[in-house]
Amino acid sequence: MLEIKNLHVAVDGKEILKGLSLTIEAGQVHAIMGPNGSGKSTLSYVLAGRDGYEITEGRILFRGEDLAAMKTEERAAKGIFLAMQYPVEIPGVTTLTFLKTALNAQRRARGESDLDAMSVLKLVRKKAAALKVSEEMLKRALNVGFSGGEKKRLEILQMELFEPKLAILDETDSGLDIDALKLVAEGVNAMRTPERAMLVITHYQRLLDYIVPDRIHVLARGRIVAEGGKELAHELEAKGYEHIVGKAA
């Protein structure tokens, strides 16, 4: 599904990722853990194709295609979804309008026909109830005045709506209380299928109690410094990043 080889990425001329390699197969959930400033968000942005994140060396293959050659919106239409750490507010654009616009843009890019407003609403309603996203929320402007939990739930709703091939969750647990965390995790777990890959980026082990990964990678100073199964998260929690990062250095 995703194959990253010796990836170097610079932002404003400063190298953030320094030779990162990572492979995720379809059906797997991988977690990236790491201290602040290790390059976790940079990795998520470069996968999504954000402006200003320059690949200086190495390459990324997504389902065998070179990701660098694809525009941001093409990647979305081809199945890359990034649940963002800080979902953005767009005043005056109702959430439902945004969902419809995005869904139809992706469909069009894939050569499928547009869905009308009623069909989109039906689709959204089906997913919304489980995530406790209310009708009233769908009528409000996108993320405007939403609580932290509401914003994250809406990100998961979008993930379910767009049915991506590769879902990247960037610090989805930040700002969530335990109930909201469970709700979000249930949503994510329901999306685990043999065809879909997920990359969960988090600072804390807590989220990984609910979304149990197949593999954990520890990122520090722009490189993967340790890898292991789900038990690695507990080791990190018990001994701290310094222990593992220090050992690798």
Partner 1 sequence: MSSAARETKKQVAEIGEKYKYGFVTDIEMERAAKGLSEDTVRYISAKKGEPDWMLEWRLGAFARWRQMREPDWARVHYPKIDYQDAYYYAAPKSTPQKQSLDEVDPKLLETYNKLGIPLHEQMALAGVAVDAVFDSVSVATTFKEKLNEAGVIFCPISEAIRTHPELVRKYLGSVVPVTDNFFATLNSAVFSDGSFVYIPKGVRCPMELSTYFRINASETGQFERTLIIADEGSYVSYLEGCTAPKRDENQLHAAVVELVALEGAEIKYSTVQNWYPGDENGTGGIYNFVTKRGDCRGDRSKISWTQVETGSAITWKYPSCILRGDDTVGEFYSIAIANNFQQADTGTKMIHLGKNTRSRIISKGISAGKAQNTYRGLVSVHPKAANARNYTQCDSLLIGGKCGAHTVPYIESRNPTARVEHEATTSKIAEDQLFYCLQRGIPQEEAVALIVNGFCKEVLQQLPMEFAVEAQKLVGISLEGSVG
Residues in touch with partner 1 (CB under 8 A): 48-51, 71-73, 76-77, 81-82, 84, 86-93, 97-98, 101-103, 105-106, 109, 141, 158, 162
- As measured in angstroms, the least distance from the Cβ of 162 to partner 1 is 7
**Residue closer to partner 1 (CB basis): 86 or 190:** 86
**Residue closer to partner 1 (CB basis): 137 or 244:** 137
Q: Is the dihedral of CA 81, 83, 84, 89 positive or negative?
A: positive
**Residue closer to partner 1 (CB basis): 155 or 245:** 155
Q: Which residues contact 231 (CB under 8 A, 6 or more apart)?
A: none
**Residue closer to partner 1 (CB basis): 72 or 147:** 72
For 125, phi then psi, to 5°, come to -55, -40
Cβ neighbours around 190 below 10 Å, total:
12
**Residue closer to partner 1 (CB basis): 162 or 241:** 162
Contact 151, 87 (CB under 8 A): yes
- As measured in angstroms, the least distance from the Cβ of 143 to partner 1 is 9
- As measured in angstroms, the least distance from the Cβ of 196 to partner 1 is 17
| Residue spans of alpha helices (H) in 78-173 | 95-109, 117-128, 135-139, 148-162
Contact 201, 41 (CB under 8 A): yes
- As measured in angstroms, the least distance from the Cβ of 77 to partner 1 is 5
- As measured in angstroms, the least distance from the Cβ of 74 to partner 1 is 8
Q: Is the dihedral of CA 78, 53, 57, 27 positive or negative?
A: negative
